[in-house]
Structure 1
Amino acid sequence: MSTPSIEDVRKRFIAPPGKPFDLSSRDSGDRDLFPDKKHARKSLKSDAGAIDELQDLLYATREKALLIVLQGMDTSGKSGVIRNVFAQTSPLGMKVKAFKAPTRIELGHDYLWRVHEATPRKGFVGIFDRSQYEDVLVVKVRNFAPADQVEQRYEQINQFEKHLTENGTKILKFMLHVGYEEQGIRLKERITEPHKRWKFNPADLDDRKIWPEFMKAYETMVERCSTDWAPWYVIPSDSRTRRNAAIARIIRGAMEDLKLQWPDPGYKLEDFDFG
């Protein structure tokens, strides 16, 4: 069984920029590209190793930055992606930011202030566990801001991401698409399995009660903010293994596309005395 090409994975899961997007047409349990879990794990291991080497190259050149946005409902696997896709990567060149409810200081600034502050500098991989998109998801669904303000934010976010892209940051955005039934199973695991119980938050059940509203908000988010410079990839996430394998393929491809070369500091062996 052959590993799907990077291009095949991209084409299958991208939300084409500028086109209507129907979330219901995307299967959260899609297994076509990775029908066998064992093979998916093998693909992930290979790509994780390549990502480690490519991150070393990114760090050595300090020419570009990579920002990875992970957005999804609770239990969709944001932390699992980070743990598995970057299992072999040195933390020295990584920066992970988990966005929670904004603090009083953050609320005193515009909503993108805390996001811009957390973006990676050149040479680093930055990972957002949740992101600026909370401000068109939970803020929208829970009516934490007026509708006209939320409406403005789609284009503001697009322009913010374009600014980052034009200044050396490659952006990869992944919506982790978990199904309603699978989320229910995983939430129950957080109660029944001792090592997961600390993760359980009763408020997650409140969000589950308004699942359709959240799915509509995600659908609008993807349609309005999948751009040529920062498209959305909608990743089936009912299978943790296949989710990780698909994301690793896309990240590896994006890092290879940077076409970075190892820098030459100009040193020569004969210039030094090693005793």
Structure 2
Amino acid sequence: MHSINPEDFRVKGKLDLSKTPTELSIETSKKEEETALDDIQKKLSAKQDAMYAHNRHAFLICLQGMDTSGKDSLIREVFKEFNPRGVVVHSFKTPNSTELEHDYLWRHYLALPEKGKFAVFNRTHYENVLVTRVHPEYILFENLPGIEKVSDITPQFWENRMEQINNFEKHIAQNGTTILKFYFHMSKDEQRKRLLKRLEQPEDQWKFSTGDLKERERWDDYMNFYEEAINKTNTDYAPWYVVPADDKGVARYIVAKTIWEKLESLTDISEPQLDQKVKDNLQLYKDQLKG
């Protein structure tokens, strides 16, 4: 597990999802996966505390993938050692009436991380060029000028939207937010197994939705639109990582190690030093507390 290199999963050049593996050819036990992840968790936790105190950098972690690809459980496992004050998770659902009164990026701006903190977007602003492309009728709810019907939505509309997303990410990156984007690449057969598991295990049945089956019927469309969106929004300031997601343990480790290595590369992060006057009077303050 420790030999896994995050750079192997970073998108370089043109991505072809049909030729990208959904699992790694490595032999590993569940125990080995858990131990490796535990090591990374501890290091992330310590570094996160220093980043919080340093109060200059922020991290935006974007998670995208088909239903059952493991995003929710990954958040629980990868970030469980983090100090809760330093990480906020946002799960973006269908836009509500207030959100629809603004442009599609508005609610994502509101959820951006403060300095010193992590924000995790579980489903992200990319839903606006993924789900809406499979279901372009959703765009009509945005009440945009010049778009009265689906036929008004031209290919240029999607080109513009992806350019807007690039500009959004460039803006926040230039202002101190490190962006890491992960696509969980799961096979259609693995999704079938996970959906069946939800139906067969009473404690998981609440997670099942008939909508999952309807979206599954559009699998090929989703793969095409994911591929296009990743290729058109993969930048140095907001890189995409395609994570093989058929093995959840391996996927979690890849994401955790990617975050860790990026944190380690920010060499200016350090905990602030005490004011010299406070240092000079430490013993005085101790005596006051003990007295």
In the TM superposition, residue 36 of structure 1 has moved relative to its aligned partner by 4.2
CA distance in 2, matches of 1:239, 1:187: 15
Indicate which of 262, 268, 274 corresponds to 1:265.
274
| Larger radius of gyration between Structure 1 and Structure 2 | 2
SS of alignment partner, residue 52 of structure 2: helix
Cα displacement string for residues 59-113 of structure 1 (whole angstroms, at most 9, x for unaligned residues): 1111111110000000001111101111211212111100000011111111000
Match of 1:211 in 2: 219
SS of alignment partner, residue 5 of structure 2: helix
In the TM superposition, 1:40-59 aligns within 5 A as 40-59=33-52
In the TM superposition, residue 31 of structure 1 has moved relative to its aligned partner by 3.4
CA distance in 2, matches of 1:118, 1:232: 20
Q: Does 1:247 align with 2:255?
A: yes
CA distance in 2, matches of 1:127, 1:171: 10
Distance 1:163 1:42, change over 3 A: same
Amino acid at match of 2:270: Q
CA distance in 2, matches of 1:105, 1:149: 23
Report percent identity of matched pairs.
39
In the TM superposition, residue 39 of structure 1 has moved relative to its aligned partner by 2.3
CA distance in 2, matches of 1:194, 1:207: 23
Q: Does 1:192 align with 2:200?
A: yes
CA distance in 1, matches of 2:5, 2:255: 9
Q: Does 1:231 align with 2:239?
A: yes
Amino acid at match of 2:2: T
In the TM superposition, 1:104-183 aligns within 5 A as 104-143=97-136, 144-145=138-139, 146-147=153-154, 148-183=156-191
CA distance in 1, matches of 2:6, 2:168: 23
CA distance in 1, matches of 2:104, 2:195: 30
Amino acid at match of 1:117: L
Does the CA-based 8 Å contact 1:235-1:246 persist in structure 2? yes
Between stretches 262-271 and 46-55, larger displacement belongs to 262-271
Q: Which segments of 5 or more consecutive residues in structure 1 lack a partner in the other structure?
A: none
| TM-score (normalised: structure 2) | 0.88
Does the CA-based 8 Å contact 1:31-1:242 persist in structure 2? no
Q: Considering only aligned residues, what root-mean-square deviation do their CA atoms show, in Å?
A: 1.4
In the TM superposition, residue 271 of structure 1 has moved relative to its aligned partner by 4.9
Amino acid at match of 1:3: H
Cα displacement string for residues 209-254 of structure 1 (whole angstroms, at most 9, x for unaligned residues): 0100000011011101110101100000000111111111101111
Amino acid at match of 2:83: S
Aligned length: 268
Q: Which segments of 5 or more consecutive residues in structure 2 lack a partner in the other structure?
A: 140-152
Does the CA-based 8 Å contact 1:37-1:242 persist in structure 2? no
In the TM superposition, residue 265 of structure 1 has moved relative to its aligned partner by 2.8
SS of alignment partner, residue 15 of structure 2: coil
CA distance in 2, matches of 1:197, 1:94: 29
CA distance in 2, matches of 1:135, 1:221: 10
Q: Does 1:98 align with 2:91?
A: yes
Q: Does 1:9 align with 2:5?
A: yes
Does the CA-based 8 Å contact 1:76-1:183 persist in structure 2? yes
Amino acid at match of 1:221: A
CA distance in 1, matches of 2:50, 2:220: 43
SS of alignment partner, residue 15 of structure 1: coil
Cα displacement string for residues 147-203 of structure 1 (whole angstroms, at most 9, x for unaligned residues): 432221111111110111110101111001111000001111111112211111110
CA distance in 2, matches of 1:31, 1:38: 17
